Structure 1
């Protein structure tokens, strides 16, 4: 089960750091090679890119879903704030 969409930024950063560490050791890359270059050369997406790709696919699937209620999950709700009533006797 993929729970990346609910992961905090700090957890995503940790996952990215571990992935980069493993890729550097697998490729035996020297210290001065940038992490982004290793990912590009190996055609390995960064964690944030992969999360956004899966999120976009999920939204598209929901919008095409035969159940209309599922499609409405992608529409943001308007936030209605209640006005605070001023009581007559609060003066």
Structure 2
């Protein structure tokens, strides 16, 4: 497990904060890589489902890693001294509040899976917004 966490995981998580525009097919490729590497390292048979492998080894899926790391990136933006970065962080918080109000006004209680799915979709949208902002900042940096 130490080999996976110290060598393989850093390779596929490099720049994960900026993967907002990554398609589902590209994310699925990384998911397959992750499970194939784990299966070969631990000699796990194909009859065991991937979700059980990840649960037993206490690993996160690629989508969960994207959500966690992009949230961390967003929190760093909120504390950034650059006013443009802080404004972006404010827009992200307003978007999250709007979604929370929509959920509350519907009067429905979400299941765990629905909440995680909604959170992942929100994080991917936020990540796309941050990626756009980063591209704009890079364009201004090279002027």
TM-score (norm 2): 0.48
Residues 56-81 of structure 1 deviation map (CA, whole Å, 9 limit, x = unaligned): 001111111122211112316xxxxx
Q: Count matched residues.
A: 76
Residue 14 of structure 1 corresponds to which residue in structure 2?
Answer: 29
Q: Which runs of 5+ in 1 are unaligned?
A: 77-91
Shift of 1:40: 1.8
Q: Does 1:48 align with 2:63?
A: yes
Residue 39 of structure 2 corresponds to which residue in structure 1?
Answer: 24
Q: Which runs of 5+ in 2 are unaligned?
A: 1-13, 93-143
Instruction: Find the structure with the greater CA-based Rg.
Output: 1
Question: 2: CA distance between counterparts of 1:29 and 1:73?
Answer: 44
Residue 81 of structure 2 corresponds to which residue in structure 1?
Answer: 66
Structure with bigger RCO (C-alpha 8 Å, 6+ apart): 2
Question: 2: CA distance between counterparts of 1:68 and 1:50?
Answer: 28
